[in-house]
Each structure stands twice: as C-alpha cells, then as structure tokens.
Amino acid sequence: MSMKINGNGNHSAAKYVEEAMRKKEAEAAENAKSAKAAEKAGDARESAKAAQPQDEYISSEKSGVKPTGLYHVGQDEEGNRKIFYDDPKKAGNEDGKKPPKADGENPEEEDEEWVANTDQVDREIRELKEKRSQIERQIRSASGDEEKTQELEKKLAQVENELQQKDNDTYRRQQTKVTRK
C-alpha cells in the first residue's frame, strides 16, 4: 500500500529551527547580562572577604621560629639516614630545669610522695572470711535441724556474695585511702 503526501514538510522544520535560534539568542543575551551582574556582585563579595580576618599560613622560615613536634630526616653517628622527632615537651627544657607546673607551684620544690592505704578494705575482707567460716561451722553443727540449716545457708550465700563483690582489685582501688607522706 502506498501513500501520497501533499505539500512540503520542510515548512514546519524551518519554523522550528528559526524558533530555536531566537531562543538561543535570547538566552545568550540574558547570560551576558547576568555575567555582568555576577561580576559586579563578585567584586562586592571580594571586598567584603578582604575586610574579614582570615587565618593565614606562615611558614617556619618566615616566622623565624623553629617548629616543634615535627619529624625530620637527619644522620646518625654512623652517617646513615634516620628520622628524628622534635618533642615539644623537651623543646623548652634545653637548660635542664623542670617546666613550671600548671597550678603555679614552684618547679624547684621536691616532688611530693603519696601513700595508698588498703588496710580498711583488707580488714573488711578478713572479717567476711571469718564470718563465712563461722557460718559453715554452724551449718555442720546444726545438721539435724532443717529450718536452721536453711537460714544459715541463706546467710552464707549473702556473705559469699558480699565477699565476691569486695575481694577484687576494682573494689580495692575504689576504697583505697591516698594521703601525703
């Protein structure tokens, strides 16, 4: 089957191309206007930025101060390459004196000695162990009376639980008394 088309189809295509060209020209003109406006706004922003204080990198060569806390490559006694670390804590102590303390104490004073005392904790633990052994003896002696045996076993369980809570390093550290010597 064949079909016959009357007329020239190029007219619609030509109109479309002309319309597209007009839109592109209008957009180009609009972009040029906005570019000029943006340039003016950019100048205003740059002048506002210049007025604000900003951080600035200053190299150690310009500042004249030797940086501390840095790694650098050097040579050891045998001439081999080695990486060295400049410790900032040691950097201020070239003269051998102790640095001043933060709370204003004199660094020349002797260091204070402190004593940790765990006698009270040890006494509590010793008393609990004695109480446990005493209850165990009472349980053995009251083997015929069931009510008394059950009551003593409950007491024994409580004492062992308390002993388990107190007879460890964490409890000792928490209850330690620290005093100046």
The per-residue pLDDT string of the chain (181 residues; one tens digit each, 9 = 90 and over) reads 565 666 555 556 667 778 888 898 998 888 888 877 777 766 666 666 666 777 777 776 777 766 666 777 888 888 888 888 777 777 555 555 555 555 555 555 567 888 889 999 999 999 999 999 999 999 989 878 888 999 999 999 999 999 999 999 899 889 989 888 7
Helix (H, G, I), strand (E, B) or coil at 136: helix
Q: What three-state secondary structure class fits 141? A: helix
Any idea what DSSP says for residue 27?
H
pTM here? 0.39
Q: Which amino acid is at 131?
A: K
Structure tokens at 53: 């204080």
pLDDT of residue 137: 93
Token representation of residue 76: 């050891």
